[in-house]
């Protein structure tokens, strides 16, 4: 490489600084909006989610935090904080991003913070303020709301008024943040709303973050874009503006499919990672890499370990792009040479070097194999099957 480092050294340096947060909901019986196929090994409680996360981290070494969805994981709000703290200690996993839930309560039929009814807006805002408080007590940095609000038919809602209501709500949330906390605003073009979604794209999320205050940033969920949208360009812009707070990683073929990272288009993930790894301020970037996936068919544990291993491999590939050489080629408009320089890193089989890195850090070389050999899935299947089968019976 132009900087004198070997490929293995480059990969080791990149992976030593890599971590990715796993979502509590990735271990539970989640599925599609048409239903879900219950799994005997799925987590049935917050303790089981922590146990699963801890097992994934033991195998991969790069998942020290667990994203929590407040409605699902802390149904009693701040009252549940001591129980979470106990689980943190027991399983050696810290609470990660705190996700408010603005989409399940029946009160949110016509919106949460964009609802024309001020009482509903207040309910939604106070839920987010509770989330800030939960995050403070758990020493969690990020509060990451996804606002599902929107409308299904033209003319049925005032898009303009709803912008103002969002600005008001986010300003209040921002004012409640502690000095080290951040508000990460997620966008999504459609679903559940099918005519307009109040935060439909990165431009809207960016403006809302700017109007909320300096600790508000944008969260990019890779599944939340229209077909063929250039996500790495959005990432480049957000990096340029210093407004990129984090990612929800997953893959998609059609819409918000929540499939395994890199299963459909690994080159896109590589291109996104390249934008980050080529940022001039790389060492001071604080970007929350998070997984947001829901597996209806794959085993939850296997899918999570597979995702993390894939993320490591794609990050390692992106670390192999020879940035100095690429810059010279780009500047000289050597198009084919530049493209080859870029994508030869993508074609590199980094798996042997990633395995070496894992071994040198005392981790299993092949985390998926290690999971299979550990017997963990069989153990949790035996422990949880009865509870899950009961649910299956009542579901039928
Ligand atoms: C919405 C979303 C959002 C939610 C999660 C469960 O599609 O991406 O991040 O919190 O799914
Ligand atoms: Mn998401
Ligand atoms: Mn989503």
257 CA distance to ligand 3 middle (Å): 8
* Candidate from 245, 292, 294 with most ligand 1 atoms within 8 A of CB, to mutate: 292
Q: Which of 189, 185, 181 is nearest to 219 (CA)?
A: 185
Distances in Å between the Cα of 322 and the Cα atoms of 13, 148, 210, 304, 317 are 14, 41, 34, 30, 11
* Candidate from 24, 221, 257, 291 with most ligand 1 atoms within 8 A of CB, to mutate: 221
187 CA distance to ligand 3 middle (Å): 9
Distance CA 213, CA 152 (A): 30
193 CA distance to ligand 3 middle (Å): 13
Query: And the tokens for 260?
Result: 């395994």
Report the DSSP beta bridge partners of residue 197. 150
Distance CA 63, CA 171 (A): 31
pLDDT at 391: 64
pLDDT at 272: 99
Provide the CA 169 distance to its chain's centre, in angstroms.
23
Report the DSSP beta bridge partners of residue 23. 67
pLDDT at 198: 99
pLDDT at 185: 99
Q: What ipTM does the predicted assembly reach?
A: 0.99
CB atoms within 10 A of CB 126: 12
| Fold annotation for 7-395 | TIM Barrel (3.20.20)
Neighbours of ion ligand 3 (CB under 5 A): 256
pLDDT at 393: 53
Q: Is any atom of ligand 1 closer than 6 Å to the C-beta of 142? A: no
pLDDT at 63: 97
Q: Is any atom of ligand 1 closer than 6 Å to the C-beta of 258? A: no
The atom of ligand 1 lying closest to the CA of 23 is 6
Q: Which of 215, 71, 80 is nearest to 134 (CA)?
A: 80
DSSP for residue 49: H
Query: And the tokens for 162?
Result: 């709803």
Which protein residue has the closest C-alpha to ligand 1 atom 10? 146
Q: Is any atom of ligand 1 closer than 6 Å to the C-beta of 73? A: no
Distance CA 43, CA 66 (A): 14
Domain ranges of the chain: 7-395
Q: Check if the beta carbon of residue 190 is closer than 8 Å to that of residue 226.
A: no
pLDDT at 36: 87
28 CA distance to ligand 1 middle (Å): 14
315 CA distance to ligand 2 middle (Å): 20
User: What does pLDDT average to in each consecutive run of 10 residues of the chain (396 residues)?
Assistant: 88 98 95 87 97 98 98 98 98 98 98 98 98 98 98 98 99 98 99 98 99 99 97 98 98 96 98 98 97 94 98 98 98 98 98 98 98 98 90 50
């Amino acid at each position: 490489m132009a900087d004198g480092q070997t490929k293995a050294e480059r990969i080791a340096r990149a992976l030593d600084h890599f971590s990715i947060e796993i979502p509590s909901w990735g271990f539970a019986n989640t599925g599609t909006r048409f239903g879900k196929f219950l799994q005997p090994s799925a987590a049935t409680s917050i303790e089981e989610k922590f146990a699963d996360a801890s097992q994934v981290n033991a195998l991969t070494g790069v998942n020290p935090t667990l994203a929590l969805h407040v409605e699902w994981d802390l149904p009693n709000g701040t009252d549940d904080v001591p129980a979470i703290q106990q689980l943190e200690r027991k399983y050696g996993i810290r609470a990660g991003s705190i996700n408010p839930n603005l989409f399940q309560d029946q009160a949110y039929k016509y919106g949460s913070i964009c609802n024309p009814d001020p009482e509903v807006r207040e309910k939604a805002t106070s839920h987010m303020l509770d989330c800030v408080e939960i995050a403070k007590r758990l020493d969690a940095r990020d509060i990451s709301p996804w606002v599902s609000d929107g409308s299904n038919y033209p003319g049925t809602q005032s898009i303009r008024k709803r912008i103002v209501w969002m600005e008001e709500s986010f300003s209040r949330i921002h004012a409640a943040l502690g000095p080290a906390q951040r508000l990460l605003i997620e966008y999504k073009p459609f679903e559940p709303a099918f005519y307009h979604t109040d935060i439909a794209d990165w431009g809207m999320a960016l403006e809302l973050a700017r109007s909320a205050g300096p600790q508000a940033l944008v969260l990019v969920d890779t599944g939340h874009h229209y077909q063929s949208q250039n996500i790495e360009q959005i990432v480049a812009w957000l990096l340029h503006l210093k407004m990129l707070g984090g990612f929800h990683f997953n893959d998609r073929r059609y819409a918000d499919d929540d499939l395994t990272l890199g299963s459909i288009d690994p080159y896109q993930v590589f291109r996104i990672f390249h934008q980050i790894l080529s940022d001039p301020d790389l060492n001071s970037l604080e970007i929350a890499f998070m997984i947001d996936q829901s597996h209806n068919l794959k085993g939850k544990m296997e899918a999570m370990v597979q995702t993390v291993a894939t993320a490591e491999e794609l990050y390692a590939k992106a670390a192999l792009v020879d940035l100095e050489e690429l810059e010279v080629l780009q500047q000289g408009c050597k198009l084919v040479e530049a493209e080859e320089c870029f994508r030869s890193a993508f074609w590199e089989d980094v798996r042997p070097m990633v395995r070496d890195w894992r071994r040198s850090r005392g981790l299993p070389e092949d985390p998926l194999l290690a999971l299979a050999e550990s017997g963990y899935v069989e153990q949790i299947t035996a422990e949880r099957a009865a509870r899950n089968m009961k649910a299956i019976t009542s579901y039928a």
